[in-house]
Amino acid sequence: MKKPKRIWTFAAKKYEQEKAFQYYKRNYDLLVGQVTNFPNETYLGNREEKVCRFCGKNQSEITFNEKPHVFPISTGNINLLSYYECDECNNFFGRYLEGEYQNLFSFVHNLYMVGGRKGKIPLVQSNDNCNKITVINKNDDEKIHLISDIAGKEHVDIKGNTITLSSPDITIIPIAIYKCLTKMALAIMPEEELPNFQKTISWIREKKHKTIMQKKHMCRYIEFKHAPYVKWPMGFLFKRKSNSKDGPYMIFLYVYAKMALMIEVPCDKVKYPYDIRKIYPLILGVPIEDIIIDLSCTEKCLVEGGIRSFSYEKLVDLTEETQKPDTENKYAQLIREHMLAFK
């Protein structure tokens, strides 16, 4: 059995909110702050003159019949769509990039109840299939986690009001996840900036994965467990000020649920990219857990899981109820209705 690859490391640079604020104030301008909390479908781009910004083709050359999401629907973006992404590019990104992203963060999406298409939240299972975690609707306004111990093995540590779980090893192509984040950044980028990213646009559409920067492709992953839940994803682009040379030309920050991801957007005119590990993440006002993810690998690899903890208000042991077929216990009924998810 091949040994899992470790791509997660805690950030060496200790986060200090005031220093982070001063760093951005001195070196960066906020270029774009894109929200997704629209009650109805809302599009970026020109409806009448659709031109794909990823392949350059227009309506006479290719179809624009689908509804491409600016940010992946698996992250909770339901209504922010795009007129400047053709069907071919949309299908390519969904198949080769967004699926890899969802695989990497499925465990976190499960814990934070991030729903994708039709609100579906991913199921998670341990490497030996002895534990599975899913989310079901207890009623119209409340969702609950169901943790099944299939083989009687203890994979869950419960102390006080905290559950500690082992996240499973997963098989992914790390560089595809960096491409996915880059594609999000390009999707909200002002048109006047796109000429600086033509090589990057071509790079994200290549089926045969390769690196684009002359260094490791690092992503800062931030969790803010004690802050309010961000229901609607938000994307931010920070552009380095013309009088500064401290930091990447462009930084993309993506925030949703209780997590955020930050990358350097590869730029054609930057010969020596900056090390994102030296940049403070701009998450102000809340304590955070800051982790570096190495997304440089260009091939499919087995990635090591980790230990995750989350708190709960109420824990109910459903073992007895589920063994009684005639019970009217509402939790037991819910479990029986969803037993297929555990098989």
Span 44-83, pLDDT tens digits: 999 999 999 999 999 999 999 999 999 999 999 999 999 9
Q: Give residue 343's pLDDT.
A: 33
Confidence of residue 209 (pLDDT cuts 50, 70, 90): very high
| Higher-scoring residue by pLDDT: 320, 63 | 63
CA distance 273 to 213: 7
Residue 66 φ then ψ, to 5°:
-85, 180
Confidence of residue 153 (pLDDT cuts 50, 70, 90): very low
In the chain, what percentage of residues exceed pLDDT 90?
Answer: 46
In sequence order, the β-bridge partners of residue 159 are 162
Q: Give residue 276's pLDDT.
A: 73
Confidence of residue 202 (pLDDT cuts 50, 70, 90): very high
Q: Give residue 7's pLDDT.
A: 84
Q: Give residue 145's pLDDT.
A: 61
CA nearest 78: which of 109, 37, 135, 46?
A: 37
Q: Give residue 278's pLDDT.
A: 73
- pLDDT tens track for 172-198: 999 999 999 999 999 999 999 999 999
CA distance 315 to 252: 38
User: Which pair of structure tokens corresponds to residue 13?
Assistant: 């640079």
Confidence of residue 110 (pLDDT cuts 50, 70, 90): confident
CA distance 240 to 234: 20
Q: Give residue 336's pLDDT.
A: 46
- pLDDT tens track for 113-142: 787 776 666 666 655 555 566 655 555 555
Mean confidence (pLDDT) of the chain: 80
Q: Give residue 341's pLDDT.
A: 39
CA nearest 304: which of 147, 176, 133, 174?
A: 174
Q: Give residue 187's pLDDT.
A: 98
The H-or-E segment that residue 245 falls in is none
